[in-house]
Chains A and B, each alone.
Chain A
Amino acid sequence: MDNFILARRRRELMVAGALLVVAVVVPRFIADVTTLNVIILSLLFAGLAQAWNILGGYCGQISLGHALYFGIGAYVSTLLYVHAGLPPSAGIFLGGVVGGIAALLVGWPCFRLSGHYYAIATVVVGEIGYLLFLNWDYVGGATGVYIPIAKPSLLNLQFGKDKLPYLYLVLAFAAATWIAAWLIEGSRWGYAWRAVKDDVVAARSLGVNIFSSKMAAAAISGFFTGLGGAIYGLYVGYIDPDSVMAGHFSILIALPAVLGGVGTLWGPILGAALLIPVKELSSSYLGGSGRGVDLMLYGAMIVVVALAQPQGLVLLFRRRAHGPA
């Protein structure tokens, strides 16, 4: 690897470290619950979008069914806690593992499909999962499952009314996904996956195994999405198919990466930092009356950003750093 790339990667790591310090320190001075909630959700979706980005951005497989892995993670962790007494601090990782396995099971048939056929198949698989969970009594069906309130502890990952520990939990999650993406970018896998994304035929001629590349990307992406779903379940304290597995979650997971910049390290973070606050604040200030203004704003923003910055918002920063291209 030449020096230019090494220097850039080291710089990225330093920027990430600085951002992490800011993200640890600043929330200590915020008392407002609404603000903390928006920060928590933004960090969570920054991590989820990064997880999506590993499959959708680096490997180029546009999945519109990630709600399935998100929901599975939430259900596995919650049900293990409720039925088997497994502490969520271990359960969330099992949720991630099952999410990753689910992504492999979905990928095995679906990676034969290409382009729009793949995208629509992922929508359908996600929808099947949603309908099954909705009609499956053992997992609570449409009524859902409450997570029993326990004494605040790190073991149970429950912190009562205190929001700050949750914020650090999702911050750790977002940081872990970022590190994973950073490691992938510099690894042999990362190069192989980007080759699969850019030109399947050329990648194959260079000896890249297309199918196993996609499967590896799917497993990692599914693991982190499941992990995020499990954490989300703990945070909201109640899950049902509509709140963790509905199709719109698939879009919400992909959207920050797309708006921020697919296949980039900072895209998912930037996208989530813009999208989630706009979505949350508009729905709490404008959506209360049920008049749909929040949806109009949200939809219009997606259209405008996608058209104005087709490569994503990261480009705004890149231009400044390197001068006009």
Chain B
Amino acid sequence: MTLETLLQVAAGGLLMGLIYALVAAGLSLIFGLMDVVNFAHGELMMLAMYAVFVIWDATGLDPLWQLPVVAGLLFLTGMAIYRGLIARALSVPFNRGMVQIFVTFGLAIFIRGAAQFVWGGEFRAVNHTWLSDRSLNLGGVFLPLPQLAASAVCLAAFAGLLAISRTEFGRALEATREDRDAVALIGIDRDRIFAMGWGLGAGAVGIAGVMLAGFYYVGPNVGASFALIAYVTVALGGFGSMAGALVAGVLIGEVEAFTAVVLEPSLKQIGVFAVYLLVLMFRPRGLFGKL
């Protein structure tokens, strides 16, 4: 392998890894806040991608301009899911852990069915965007602009999540995470914080979905494979850790890219899973999880 190919593969891994990181960040945020693993996370990303397709198809508006609109829509969707389902799932008297797994899982199947109902099973693609078919040449390493823009936006979204954590709301979020019962005593509305957490988590995966739609096909099952990677990312980084999601996302992107070259593309996820299991042998709560 020449140095140029090496750099090319590494760059591809980094660009994809940053997207994985943002998808995982939304999942990790919700988990850290209330111990809920959202098994419909990939389906939220799929909804964002369809939203981009529908708006683009109807108006021709470039995905980049749609970013605030679709992220906002996903934020509201996340809040609605919390109010409609998750709040109920958290208040059941028995088997709370299992109920939340299967409520979000059932929701995932429902959303997938609904997408198939509305848009059919075939793949769609958002072609001819402002960025498509353009790439940046960095000394022989080609970086396709849609991917580059996607990872830049994902990094910015990460910075945004960190900035939020420093605001008054962020501190309330942190306090709720520390002790969900005690916060009521100091006048924090736990339910509102949880709903906002779901909004932010869904918004984050929505942003990733919008950028992904610029260069990836859209179909009812597109969320499933990304969601699996996201669970692995979150577990590898440590549940609830934002830094962990970022590091693990990039690591997974790189491992995937190199496995695809060294072994073969159809085995690229095996490398990811093997690294994940190996790390968990030594750090059962992930790289950044509290031991």
Contacts and interface: CB of A to CB of B under 8 A. Distances in A.
Contacts of A291: 116-117, 120
B21 to A, nearest CB: 17
Contact of B109 (A119, A120, A290, A299): A299
A131, A297, A306: residue with the most chain B Cβ atoms closer than 10 Å: A306
Interface in B113-148: 113-117, 120-121
In the complex, which of the residues B99, B112, B285, B286 has the most CB atoms of chain A within 10 Å of its own CB atom?
B99
A91 B120 CA distance: 42
B106 A299 contact: yes
Nearest to A56: B98
B110 A300 contact: yes
A116 interface: yes
A290 B121 contact: yes
A290 B232 CA distance: 31
Contact of A303 (B94, B107, B231): B107
Contacts of B267: 131, 135
A303 B110 contact: yes
Given A116-B37, A127-B269, A310-B93, A293 B113 contact: yes
Contact of A123 (B97, B98, B103, B231): B231
Contact of A124 (B96, B110, B111, B273): B273
Interface string A111-148: 01111110111011101100110110000000000000
Given A127-B228, A127-B273, A258 B239 contact: no
A259 B285 CA distance: 29
Interface in A93-125: 109, 112-117, 119-121, 123-125
Nearest to A300: B110
B276 interface: yes
B167 interface: no
A291 B115 CA distance: 9
A208 interface: no
A120 B114 contact: no
Contact of A295 (B31, B98, B112, B120): B112
Contacts of A251: 105
Contact of B239 (A116, A134, A290, A297): A116
Nearest to A255: B102
Given A121-B277, A125-B277, A307-B103, A296 B114 contact: yes
A109 B273 CA distance: 14
Given A117-B284, A120-B232, A128-B274, A310 B95 contact: yes
Contacts of B274: 128
Interface in B253-291: 264, 266-267, 269-270, 273-274, 276-277, 280-281, 284-286
Interface string A181-210: 000000000000000000000000000000
B232 A62 contact: no
B232 A124 contact: yes
B117 A128 contact: no
B164 interface: no
Q: How large is the interface on A (under 10, 10 to 19, 20 to 34, 35 or more residues)?
A: 35 or more
Given A128-B270, A302-B105, A310 B99 contact: yes
A306 B280 contact: no
B88 A292 contact: no
B220 interface: yes
A311 B108 contact: no
Contacts of B109: 295-296, 298-299, 302
A121 B108 CA distance: 20
Interface of A is mostly: helix
B235 interface: yes
Contact of A109 (B105, B107, B281): B281
B92 interface: yes
A113 B284 contact: yes
A109 B37 CA distance: 22
A117 B232 contact: no
A62 B98 contact: yes
A116 B286 CA distance: 12
B247 interface: no
B7 interface: no
A262 interface: yes
Contacts of B106: 298-303, 306
B39 to A, nearest CB: 9
A294 interface: yes
B182 interface: no
Nearest to A312: B95
Given A131-B269, A298-B109, A307-B99, A292 B115 contact: yes
Contact of A119 (B31, B101, B112, B276): B101
Contact of B228 (A113, A123, A295, A302): A123
Interface in A294-325: 294-303, 306-307, 310-312
9 contacts: A120-B232, A120-B234, A120-B235, A123-B228, A127-B228, A292-B114, A292-B117, A306-B98, A310-B96
Interface of A: 62, 109, 112-117, 119-121, 123-125, 127-128, 131-132, 134-135, 247, 251, 255, 258-259, 262, 290-303, 306-307, 310-312
Interface of B: 31, 37, 85, 88-89, 92-99, 101-103, 105-117, 120-121, 220, 228, 231-232, 234-235, 239, 264, 266-267, 269-270, 273-274, 276-277, 280-281, 284-286
Smallest CB-CB A-B distances: 3 pairs = A295-B113, A292-B116, A302-B106
